[in-house]
Structure 1
Amino acid sequence: MHQPPRRVGPALLLCALLAACSQPPAPLPDDESILPPGSPYANGAAYPWSDRLEEPVADPYAAGRDYPWQSPTAASTLEAQAVRSGLNELGDLPWTSATNGWGPVARNHSNGEQDVNDGRTLTIGGKTFAKGLGVHADSSVKYALNAQCSTFTASVGIDDEVGKRGRVTFQVLGDGRVLYTSPDVTGADSARAVFLNVIGVRELTLNVLKGTSTYYDHADWADARVMCQAPRPSGTVFMSDLAYTTATNNWGPVEIDASNGEQKQGDGRPLTIGQTAYTRGLGVHANSTITYDLGGVCQAFTAVVGIDDETQGRGSAAFTVYGDGRLLSSSGRVPAVLPGYEEAPVVVRADVTGVRELKLVVTDGGDGKSFDHADWADAKLYCNPGRMAGTTDASFGQQGHASVGGVDSVVEPDSAVVLLGADFSVKRVSAGGKVSGAGSVTVAGGSARALARQSNGTLVVVGEAKGAVVAVRYLPNLQPDPSFGTGGVKVIQYGEAVQVGETENSQTQPARSSANDVTVQPDGKIVLVGTLTQSVQPIPDHTDSTLDHLIARLNVDGTPDTTFGSSSKVTLKSPGYISSTCGELDDVMAAVALQPDGKIVAAGNSDCTGATDSLIVRLLPGGQLDQSFSTDGIAYPAPLGNYGDNIRALIVQPDGKVMIGGGTDRFQTSAFVSRLTPAGGPDGGVIFQIADEFYEQGTIYSLAGQADGKVVFGARSPNSQNLGRLNADLTLDTSFGIESSGYVTVTAPVTSVNIDPLGRIVGSGAADTVRVLP
């Protein structure tokens, strides 16, 4: 076709004369019907664009800013295959950063012009594509794969919207290493297939490089996809070595073995919490969720958590672990450590036995998300092919847990568990972990404390209501026993009213008593312990009311057993019952147990402003002090802590030794276990640092002996070390629990622990009951 002569403007003529133009004029299209005269498409003009590469600010580390990111989704068995196919279209995924030579990078369209959505259908060599990226040389688009994916595929070429013009090179990088470089591609070429192995690649970079110029270099990454697969973990594996199924993060991508840093992949620093550096882990920013497919093959998860030191003492976060949607462990609010300070690490542990989907969730600590650079440091899974001692019993409830609890519990011969509610109600949980029965009585204003089972299957509950001891008995069908008290309820006032003050000017202090623990003798008689009010004269002509130790016995029908002690009870005062600091000490019996020979062992405390004295008492069956025990029937064990030991649990071992447990140090910030010989002498003791002093309590609430001589304890610990096991020498049993720690992670305090007929360990607390394998 004849072409008319072209008109040359003065500027272009000058450029030609001086040979000073940086680019030649755009040539005419090969097919003028494709590109009408005056068509744009970057014919020599420039409109550079970038995304998420903001300049550094005075306060980095996401100070009030957002940069939300979502990972590719890896194939897994967690949902239907169509949902979790593992095929990810890059046109639908957020990049970590992007630059482009002409307007924005276009998602699932050609590059078009300057606006975001002004592109057309991706078309190369007459073939159209529904998905992909439309770019213009020079361009670079980066994605955080974090070693989740195995293959990258695409069809690349110059989009048909520029006709046969343009010349570019396509380049793919994995972690900065060139994986693929195309030959020169022009608008006359058809789509070129790209198939790459990206196993282990953390950052994928897609570059389009210009040829001799950037004229009309509209390039398409058509059908750009990554295929991702989440392998099942095995052995002991760091989370940073395990591909997740999906992840979201509030500031840039999740970082592997580094802190969250700023916007880019790989811009974090070494993980550091409280001046301690960790080589392995995950760096995230609240709010963040990372999901893994465990496939039910793991037993335990652990991590050290906290705000990374890079925030210079700013920010806070809460770390939570979920298994199949159920809460497994939570750190509570964890504030940043101030610069220069060292603090004990916060450890999160979770029993993940049978868990298929594990979620690691970080939320802000209630003060907003600024500076919430959170670390899952040293995070790892324990996935042993053999059974780990202390793993939850998957045949009980949901993965070893029944979402029902109480203040105390007993195990029945068929492995069912009966749980006591604080309102004196009872529930039976079957051996399979399902609630199979319930019963209740009305005790206005009452507070139940302890539960015991008689050999005939009846259940005895004790506690307090309106300042008096309350005892309730249930039949095996969980209905109140009409032969006991009134409608199954017996109320007894053991305390005495006291005229308090000077003799000529006194006031009446009402009687009070309560029961804290109970056991049942083989003959059906009931022994309870607690406290009661009695009078004391600290100085002549002055009377005060004080709480004293109470040990009492009831007949089978609930009436006081007048053959026991003095009128059905034994009362004791602490030997130093009057203190210059406290006045009269409050004496409380906390626990009771029976020996096979019928002797009664009880343990209690005397409290004085955070300091505690404890005592162990052994009585003959008739209630008299056993003179063969510590010379007079009462032992005063030397405290393990600086402020005395507060006893909460007691058992008598088969060899006659007496083991006690509770809390020690001021305000019971540490847990302890101590043991006495059958004669009442010291036989060792140990303190467990399961809590931070002055912050949280660490207390053992319950003890249970195994047939092999090992002892299991239920506890309260801020680190979720709420169920543990001791060897016969009182050392932690390192064959039990997570990281050979001697502990099983239970999210709530375990106030009662039992051994069932098959040797399995049953721990219960206020809202959960767990059964673990021995």
Structure 2
Amino acid sequence: MPRIPVRLASTLLLTGVLAACSQTPAPTTEDTLPPGSPYAGGASYPWSDRLEAPVADPYAAGRDYPWSSPQAASTLATQGLSAGVNQLSDLPWTSASNFWGPISRDKSNGEQGEFDGHTLTIGGQTFAKGLGVHADSTVKYALNAQCSAFTASVGIDDEVGTLGRATFQVLGDGKVLYTSPELTGADTAKAVSVNVSGVRELTLNVLKGANTYYDHSDWADAKVTCQALKPSGTVYVSDLAYTSATNGWGPVEIDRSNGEQGQFDGKPITVEDQVYAKGLGVHANSAITYDLGGQCTAFESVVGVDDEVEARGSVVFQVFGDGRKLYESSVLQGGVRNYYPVARANVTGVRELKLVVTDFGDGKNFDHADWADAKLACSTPGASGTFDPTFGVAGHANVGGVDSVVEPDTSVVLLGADFTVKRVSSAGIVSAAGAAVVPGGTAMALARQANGNLVAVGQANSAVVVVRYLPSLQPDPSFGTGGVVVVQYGQAVPDALFGPTAAVSSGRDVAVQADGGVVIVGTASRAFTSSPGVRILTPQFLVARLSVTGTVDTTFGNGGSVVSGGEDYLSPQYRNDGAVNDMLSAVALQPDGRIVAVGSSEYISQYTPFVFRFQTNGQLDPSFCGDGICGVFTQAGYGDLLRALLIEPDGSIVVGGATERFQTLAVIARLTSSGAQAGGAIFQIADYFYEQGSIYSLARQGDGKIVFGAVTRNDRGLGRLNADFTLDTTFGDLGTGYVRVQTGITSVNIDPLNRIVASGATDTVRVLP
């Protein structure tokens, strides 16, 4: 359209100048179009961008719709809050239409071309940034609920003099949020400020007046202010404002698939026929960043190619924390069963989370990718299952061991695998340490006496080793020899055919009685005749007791110990074979002093679980399951491998371990004081059904909830059950009942303030109850 000069002092002067400078005679009013007017005869130059109808191949002819989001201010931004102020002229719109030529960025509407406008000027005031449009026009932007305010100065550009009239309108998700009065070329710039909190799609309309003549309209200094607030609690990522986003085709979609070009044109997120209500629909190549502020612990999402592209598309999902890759999927393809792959990442301490989808290097066509059901677990101060910020670094002491005990002052003593001991203060700092006292020994378990002494058990040179430490963590010279007792409970076999076999025994767990007696459970070798003339050694159940001074207590069991095999209690086929491997893994004392021990017999990878109860003299208690021995069966044909034991205040017994072949399911069961089974749970801790996951430790809170420590390939090492054995989804990360830690948890304790203290090989954590 021919250029009209800037407004002058009077209409007469303006008319004269127009006649002199313009090739097209100017009208004296909007309603009078002289010959040669660009609007004469109903002429127009309509223009649109990204409003094509969906086609079978949207990528044909090299079409491309890359998109980037507004930037949100956050603690990650080096330039402060200004990082969250985004000029709309610097952002890609998702769609736009204009009555006369293309919309101009940082220029007035101009003629028909894209760059033929002038400096934006309204009522003599110039603006460096903004959009130059012509009524009727519409521009849409994807904000995805991450911005709080839209501001602009609006009016008719001075290039049309006093001519033109239009109304400016701001919409959020289709709802009108602002409408200006009708403005003309004679008006000064009008300030606009609109609250766009929660708005996903921003629409800017300019509506014509009586006609469209000379309606050169400016959204001057049009900008959105966006703020990324750090997440708190368990949140869906799609409900969280990102700091930035780029996408290979159209805007990132919230709780929808990627769709086509515009906001909201996706479908329900669907991966492998499973529909998800929450998530992000993206298109390779994409990258979305979030400010976690270092207060989250876990990220989890189902990932895959959306079913809407059928058997097309191939992508790779990546999760980065502060620039470090935390997760990468295999190549995932559309129409291929990937069995709902789950992206999981430990994001403890991470400030910036970045979710990336790549095209696998084979081009981005049809790469519609979903972060389905994507969630974050973040700290809410004082929430159940969050790390205690007063302990160590964000709840982590960063020192571990094979077992631990909590002391009355809430400090923690850790037992190293080499029989070293360390005390971690209530603040999570190592405050004392004792040297290794058993060269070549392997420690397994730790218990605390009422007087503050500590007793550890394990093995060295194929014999049981027990060490007692003073509260100073030095060996107790009144116990054994320099604090150390070594006892061989196993038998040797002088077999003429295969040669002699040395005796073997090992301590696996320990309990301290009220009088200072030390009860040990584990395994000891026993000679067995497997066939005529052939004697072999097999591991057998071991229960033994030492006196308060460390001598063998000969009044206990059969001269100080009880060694018996699972084949003694199983069917003749096992008894005749003799290849049963037995192990007692845990021991605990009931309120009346009776001794409970749990373990399993293994025969060709099939496990039979046993719960023993002994009287204080080491004899089996006939009031327990009739003969002192109970079995706990939960999976027909396989049984359970028991590793953990808990005695409840009423004398009930809770056992834990793993079940199913190769121990792929965790198991927890309760027996009454008499041995009757009284409930339990079988659940999968591992990511996939073929991965192992087992309970290693149990503790009971004052409200009856049961906390368990587990060892598995993922980070779900600490969890909590309600009293009825259902997972307590109010606890821990992502509403799952688990707290993610980067070490398998082998020891769980409840401290005097009801806080949960859990330790594994590399870390000790304290978690709020």
Query: Once the 2 structures are TM-superposed, how far is the Cα of residue 312 of structure 1 from its aligned partner?
Result: 4.2
For the pair 1:227 / 2:225, whether they are aligned, the reply is yes
Retained in 2: the 8 A contact 1:238–1:280? yes
Aligned residue among 402, 410, 431 for 2:405? 410
Query: Once the 2 structures are TM-superposed, how far is the Cα of residue 407 of structure 1 from its aligned partner?
Result: 3.0
Partner in structure 2 of residue 611 of structure 1: 606
**Cα pair distance change 1:235/1:630, threshold 3 Å:** closer
SS of structure 1 residue aligned to 2:263: coil
Letter in 1 for 2:370: A
Query: Once the 2 structures are TM-superposed, how far is the Cα of residue 644 of structure 1 from its aligned partner?
Result: 0.7
Q: Any residues of structure 2 matched to 1:299-698 within 5 Å, and which?
A: 305-307=302-304, 308-310=306-308, 312=310, 333=329, 339=335, 362-363=355-356, 371=367, 373-377=369-373, 390=385, 393-397=388-392, 400-441=395-436, 447-464=442-459, 467-481=462-476, 493-498=488-493, 503-504=496-497, 506-509=498-501, 511-556=503-548, 560-561=552-553, 564-566=556-558, 568-575=560-567, 576=570, 579=574, 584-640=579-635, 642-691=637-686, 694-698=689-693
Query: Once the 2 structures are TM-superposed, how far is the Cα of residue 612 of structure 1 from its aligned partner?
Result: 0.7
> TM-score normalized by structure 2?
0.75
- Counterpart Cα distance in 2 of 1:432 and 1:722: 21
For the pair 1:254 / 2:248, whether they are aligned, the reply is no
Q: Deviations over 1:287-324 (max 9, x none)?
A: 6445478999xx999976333443547657768798xx
For the pair 1:746 / 2:740, whether they are aligned, the reply is yes
Query: Once the 2 structures are TM-superposed, how far is the Cα of residue 626 of structure 1 from its aligned partner?
Result: 3.4
Q: Deviations over 1:122-158 (max 9, x none)?
A: 5545433344346688976432112333432212457
- Counterpart Cα distance in 2 of 1:469 and 1:744: 35
**Cα pair distance change 1:609/1:475, threshold 3 Å:** same
SS of structure 2 residue aligned to 1:147: coil
Letter in 1 for 2:69: Q
Retained in 2: the 8 A contact 1:158–1:219? yes
Partner in structure 2 of residue 132 of structure 1: 130
Quote the sequence identity (%). 49
Retained in 1: the 8 A contact 2:589–2:596? yes
Retained in 2: the 8 A contact 1:752–1:765? yes
Letter in 2 for 1:544: I
- Counterpart Cα distance in 1 of 2:576 and 2:81: 69
Partner in structure 2 of residue 37 of structure 1: none
Aligned residue among 170, 179, 192 for 1:194? 192
Query: Once the 2 structures are TM-superposed, how far is the Cα of residue 761 of structure 1 from its aligned partner?
Result: 2.8
- Counterpart Cα distance in 1 of 2:708 and 2:493: 40
Q: Deviations over 1:202-244 (max 9, x none)?
A: 112346789999999986532111234678999998765x562
**Cα pair distance change 1:65/1:132, threshold 3 Å:** closer
SS of structure 1 residue aligned to 2:612: strand
Query: Once the 2 structures are TM-superposed, how far is the Cα of residue 570 of structure 1 from its aligned partner?
Result: 2.5
Partner in structure 2 of residue 278 of structure 1: 276
Q: Deviations over 1:16-74 (max 9, x none)?
A: xxxxxxx94779xxxxxxxxxxxxxxxx999979589898685989x999946334426
For the pair 1:726 / 2:719, whether they are aligned, the reply is no
Query: Once the 2 structures are TM-superposed, how far is the Cα of residue 640 of structure 1 from its aligned partner?
Result: 4.4
Query: Once the 2 structures are TM-superposed, how far is the Cα of residue 539 of structure 1 from its aligned partner?
Result: 0.9
Q: Which moved more, 1:751-760 or 1:490-499?
A: 490-499
Letter in 1 for 2:277: T
Retained in 2: the 8 A contact 1:331–1:346? no
- Counterpart Cα distance in 2 of 1:550 and 1:150: 68
- Counterpart Cα distance in 1 of 2:319 and 2:605: 32
- Counterpart Cα distance in 1 of 2:355 and 2:149: 30
Partner in structure 2 of residue 15 of structure 1: none
Aligned residue among 68, 80, 83 for 2:81? 83
**Cα pair distance change 1:259/1:395, threshold 3 Å:** same
Query: Once the 2 structures are TM-superposed, how far is the Cα of residue 411 of structure 1 from its aligned partner?
Result: 0.8
Letter in 2 for 1:571: V
Aligned residue among 168, 172, 175 for 2:173? 175
Retained in 2: the 8 A contact 1:278–1:378? no
**RMSD of equivalent CA atoms:** 5.6
Retained in 1: the 8 A contact 2:303–2:340? no
Retained in 1: the 8 A contact 2:745–2:759? yes
- Counterpart Cα distance in 2 of 1:522 and 1:366: 66
Partner in structure 1 of residue 9 of structure 2: none
Q: Which moved more, 1:229-238 or 1:263-272?
A: 229-238
Retained in 2: the 8 A contact 1:104–1:111? yes
Letter in 2 for 1:743: G
Retained in 1: the 8 A contact 2:729–2:737? no
Query: Once the 2 structures are TM-superposed, how far is the Cα of residue 667 of structure 1 from its aligned partner?
Result: 1.9
Letter in 1 for 2:409: D
Query: Once the 2 structures are TM-superposed, how far is the Cα of residue 537 of structure 1 from its aligned partner?
Result: 1.9
- Counterpart Cα distance in 1 of 2:489 and 2:345: 45
Letter in 2 for 1:754: N
Retained in 1: the 8 A contact 2:271–2:340? no
Partner in structure 1 of residue 69 of structure 2: 70
Query: Once the 2 structures are TM-superposed, how far is the Cα of residue 645 of structure 1 from its aligned partner?
Result: 0.8
Q: Deviations over 1:83-109 (max 9, x none)?
A: 278543324445445678999977656
Partner in structure 2 of residue 145 of structure 1: 143
SS of structure 2 residue aligned to 1:462: strand
Gaps of 5+ in 2: 1-12, 25-34
**Cα pair distance change 1:753/1:311, threshold 3 Å:** farther
**Cα pair distance change 1:605/1:25, threshold 3 Å:** same
Retained in 1: the 8 A contact 2:246–2:288? yes
SS of structure 2 residue aligned to 1:153: strand
Q: Deviations over 1:252-311 (max 9, x none)?
A: 433223123345322221122443323344434676445478999xx9999763334435
Retained in 2: the 8 A contact 1:495–1:512? yes
Query: Once the 2 structures are TM-superposed, how far is the Cα of residue 452 of structure 1 from its aligned partner?
Result: 1.5
- Counterpart Cα distance in 2 of 1:269 and 1:582: 62
- Counterpart Cα distance in 1 of 2:264 and 2:631: 60
- Counterpart Cα distance in 2 of 1:92 and 1:588: 69
Retained in 1: the 8 A contact 2:160–2:216? no
SS of structure 2 residue aligned to 1:83: helix
Letter in 2 for 1:626: D
- Counterpart Cα distance in 1 of 2:310 and 2:437: 56
Query: Once the 2 structures are TM-superposed, how far is the Cα of residue 746 of structure 1 from its aligned partner?
Result: 3.0
Letter in 2 for 1:451: L
Retained in 2: the 8 A contact 1:317–1:374? no
Letter in 1 for 2:424: V
**Cα pair distance change 1:751/1:334, threshold 3 Å:** farther
- Counterpart Cα distance in 1 of 2:441 and 2:57: 59
**Cα pair distance change 1:667/1:243, threshold 3 Å:** closer
Retained in 1: the 8 A contact 2:258–2:368? no
- Counterpart Cα distance in 2 of 1:364 and 1:560: 64
